[in-house]
Amino acid sequence: MSHFRNATRGGLSKSELEAVLRQVGAERYHIHHPFHHRMTSGALSKWEMQAWALNRYCYQAVIPRKDAMILAHAEDPAFRAAWRKRIEDHDGEDGWSGGIARWLYLATSLGLDTETVRSERLALPATRFAVGAYLSFCTNRTLLEAVASSLTEMFSPTIIDERVSAMLARYDYITEDTVAYFSRRPEQASRDADFALAYVLDHADTAERQQQAIDALVFKCDILWAMLDALQHAYGEPGNLPPGAFRPGAAR
């Protein structure tokens, strides 16, 4: 937790709390991760790009479940009505016409087959553990902490912008079509992040709760960071692939 421990002694004003939350992102968001830098510099092999898409699918697929858990903990119908949009965004009208389906399209347009991606069975165990930790966090922590953990969306427009530009410019097998998932995300994420930030600033009304909100955002940054660590370790250097993980050209 480094210097974000004990960040709220005596309590912070709303603008001070917002500044600390933004500082968490400035220091710990995965936009600073070496794997992301390798992606934006054009250094990923196609295999690594596939592994990234296949592993990240596990994260995308759990988003509506963690949002449903947040709905289940929310007593205010107006809060639920606002938060519900996130589930609609990811599942779409029929379950397979929203963000998850678009991510699946991204993965299959990289050459992966639908069943392999959807089954999640070739994902890295470390990916599954990180994604499971996120769902457990939203299950077991307070509503405030679960909402605060979503605040990484404050930082996502920049990383999406970097990612999409680089994917189109530096990887000749990637087209506008491949990255269609990202076209709607900045607008959705801004809407969602504004709502979540306002909620956190309103409800983190003691020093203890402010610290919980900060810790929740640090935790979420750790999740995203650990997912890229696992990819970098498994696919970035030879000889590190854990048993049972996705291999290039593997038809299973």
- Strand, coil or helix: 26: helix
**CB 67 → a second copy: shortest distance, Å?**
19
Separation of alpha carbons 204 and 168, rounded Å: 41
Site for a second copy in 13-42 (CB under 8 A): 27-28, 34
**CB 206 → a second copy: shortest distance, Å?**
22
Joined together, the tokens standing for residue 113 give 């087959």
Structure-derived torsion over alpha carbons of residues 100, 159, 40, 125, reported in degrees to the nearest 10: -50
**CB 125 → a second copy: shortest distance, Å?**
4
Residue 222 binds a second copy (CB under 8 A): yes
Site for a second copy in 119-148 (CB under 8 A): 121, 124-126, 128-130, 132-133, 136
Q: How far apart are the two ends of the chain, measured CA to CA in Å?
A: 41
Only one of the segments 71-79, 109-117, 183-191, 224-232 lies at the binding site for a second copy (rule: CB under 8 A); that segment is 224-232
Contact of 51 with 236, CB cutoff 8 Å: no
Residue 232 binds a second copy (CB under 8 A): yes
Encode burial over 20-53: b for 16+ CB neighbours within 10 A, e otherwise: bbeebbeebbbbebebbebbbeeebeeebbbbbb
Residue 190 binds a second copy (CB under 8 A): no
**CB 2 → a second copy: shortest distance, Å?**
5
Residue 239 binds a second copy (CB under 8 A): yes
Residue 226 binds a second copy (CB under 8 A): yes
What ranges in 74-112 are assigned the alpha helix state H? 77-91, 99-109
What ranges in the chain are assigned the alpha helix state H? 14-28, 34-40, 46-73, 77-91, 99-109, 114-119, 125-140, 143-149, 156-170, 180-203, 207-236
Residue 159 binds a second copy (CB under 8 A): no
**CB 215 → a second copy: shortest distance, Å?**
11
Judged by CB under 8 A, the residue of 173, 176, 205, 242 near a second copy is 242
Q: Rounded to whole angstroms, what are the CA distances from 167 to 35, 41, 77, 246?
A: 13, 9, 40, 21
Residue 53 binds a second copy (CB under 8 A): no
**CB 172 → a second copy: shortest distance, Å?**
29
Joined together, the tokens standing for residue 163 give 């990612």
| Residues of this chain that bind a second copy (CB under 8 A) | 1-2, 5, 27-28, 34, 121, 124-126, 128-130, 132-133, 136, 218-219, 221-223, 225-226, 229-230, 232-234, 237, 239-240, 242-244, 252
